[in-house]
Amino acid sequence: MKRKVLCALLAATMAVSCLAACGDKSSDSKSSKDTLVYAQGADPRGLDPQIVDDGESAKVTNQIYEGLLTYAEDSTEVLPCLAESWDISPDGLEYTFKLREGVKFHDGTDFNAEAVKFNVERNTINKTEDMTYADFVWGYVDKSEVVDDYTIKITLKQPSTPFLANLAMVFGAPMVSPTAAQSGDLMNKPVGTGPYKFVKWNKDEDVQLVANEDYWDKDNMAKTKNVVIRTIKDASTKIVELQSGNVDIIDGIDTTQMENLKKDSNITVSQTPGMNVNYMAYNIERLDKETRVAISQAINVDEMVETLYNGYAEKATTVLPSFVPGYSADVKQIAYDKDAAKATLEKKGIKSVHMITYTNPRPYNTATGQTLAEAIQGYLAEVGVECTIDSYDWTTYKDRTIAGDYDICFYGWSGDNGDPDNFMNLMSDTNAGMNVARYNLAKNKEDKADYKEYAQMISDAAKEPAGDSRNAMYAEMEQYVADRAIWLPISHQQDLTACKSNVKNFIYHCTATVKLYNVTKD
């Protein structure tokens, strides 16, 4: 209940401001009323929701695909979607879902229990290394069984409190067409059941969608016929395109431009606390605990956040945002102590580190990874450590993090479901695309033992029912990883979006994604 209410309050704040303002002002937008143009800062990595794990891809796939469950528009309350209802066995191991009848995928394939079984097994028995969310969503699944055409039973290996919330996530959980998955190219030609159908992807330019006239939910048919999701990598250009009317909605706004946007009577700007964390990750394969602690001591996080984010982000005192269950104000991060850092690094002979970072703004870091890396480069220079920085576009950067050739990398996370497991599980995950600290690959004897203990803590907390006892377990985990300097948490970025004033019903969800089926333009 706490998760639902707090997330609802955050999303409602933005929804009210955007819905009210967007409905009251006129605009001379150059795009037609039957085409909605949304601009984001990077191209999608792909369009298969069971493989991709980035917000740019999700902006597209969330219009095309649906899962068994979904979230309310203004919270992480779990609601029926392709599953009409579900029952859970007393021991918490068996979930029986009654599926919606009469639903078809965009290619005409029937949605039924066999289709769900295919999707479950694609993420479990048949998963590939690039399915980074497979374990997040389906990791506790033992088996799936078709009961009848529209009933499926999923059995877990152990009880999992986040399981239902995971089934509503935009990654890993959406149902793909079995026909298309077996014979097509879902990364480039997505096929789901959602309110919009895929038309075309012009790489590094835009993705074009059209309303699904055969959509199963007649009460929630797409209100705007066409959606175009444009890639505009330069933050300033994105704002110019909004002001000129060539795009209708933008996100990932450069905070230095916020005040100018607020003064524009033809634009509505929205800002709410973000369910995210912006962090620096240490490669545990390469850097031991003493070195990690010393580097953290060298960085003045308070000063850096104040300088870089212009008041649109707050310092991260823990991995979890303050409104996510499990957050504890008692968690203590490594304190800034330049003299101690210098002494340790000199003693250990650490004279240089290799950093990799990304060049574009992210929802959790509007200052870009390049800017953040350069700020930390400056702090480390003061303690005698030289930093080399290799920077990449987002798609290439994802590949470089998986390769693991770095001492330090910069990353972030936008919460998918409001559950603390969704954040803290990142450091126990065995997929290199998720666990960029590579904690599971630790070579040092102390780090290896610590990782094993932490992974057990994650497993134990997943079984615990929601409530004070479970929250305390996550607070303990937060202190555990803080003491061992697995990450250096930096900030929690506000969600910043802007739309033309003739746009109605646009809501940026607290999970940092959007559904555009209900959006219209005057």
Does the residue 35 lie in any domain?
Answer: yes
Overall average pLDDT of the 144-160 stretch: 98
The pLDDT of residue 19 is 39
Nearest to 191 by CA among 63, 100, 97, 80: 63
- Residue ending a domain, among 155, 183, 211, is 183
User: In this structure, is residue 25 part of a structural domain?
Assistant: yes
Question: Does one domain contain both 34 and 135?
Answer: no
The confidence score (pLDDT) of residue 476 equals: 98
- Closest to 15 in 3D by CA, of 72, 69, 64, 61: 72
516 and 442 co-located in one domain: no
- Looking at the structure, tell me whether residues 289 and 362 fall in a common domain: yes
Residues 325 and 219 grouped into a single domain: no
Q: Are 90 and 122 in contact (CB under 8 A)?
A: no
Average pLDDT over residues 116-132: 96
For the segment 10-46, what is each residue's pLDDT rounded down to a tens digit? 444 434 334 333 433 333 335 589 999 999 999 999 9
Shared domain check, 208 and 246: yes
How many structural domains comprise the chain? 3
pLDDT (mean) for 410-434 = 95
CATH number at residue 33: 3.40.190.10
Any domain includes 158:
yes
Based on the fold, state whether residues 157 and 74 are members of the same structural domain.
Answer: yes
Residue 197 has pLDDT above 60, yes or no: yes
How far apart (Å, rounded) are the C-alpha atoms in residues 130 and 142?
Answer: 21
- Residue 184 pLDDT > 90: no
Based on the fold, state whether residues 330 and 412 are members of the same structural domain: yes
Give the domain range for residue 367: 276-493
For residues 489 and 499, membership in a common domain is answered with: no
Per-residue pLDDT for 74 more than 70? yes
326-369 pLDDT, tens per residue?
A: 999 999 999 999 999 999 999 999 999 999 999 988 989 999 99
Does position 8 have pLDDT exceeding 90, yes or no? no
Mark which of 183, 212, 243 sits at the end of a domain: 183
Assign 278 a pLDDT band (cuts: 50, 70, 90). Answer: very high
Span 437-462, pLDDT tens digits = 999 999 999 999 999 999 999 999 99
* Mean model confidence pLDDT for the chain: 93
pLDDT band of residue 7 (cuts 50, 70, 90) is very low
| Inter-axis angle of helices 301-309 and 369-381, nearest 10 | 140
Pair (312, 430) in one structural domain: yes
130 and 165 belong to one structural domain: yes
Query: Tell me, what's the pLDDT at 26?
Result: 34
Q: Look up the pTM and report it.
A: 0.89
Q: Is 448 domain-assigned?
A: yes
| Domain-located, residue 377 | yes
More confident position, 16 or 114: 114
Q: Is there a single domain that holds both residue 292 and residue 244?
A: no
Report which DSSP code applies to 174. S
The CATH number assigned to the domain holding 116 equals 3.90.76.10
Domain assignment present for residue 352? The answer is yes
Of 183, 213, 240, which residue sits at a domain end? Answer: 183
Whether the per-residue pLDDT at 3 is higher than 70: the answer is no
Number of H helices, E strands in the chain: 16, 21
Beta bridge partners of 279: 411, 489
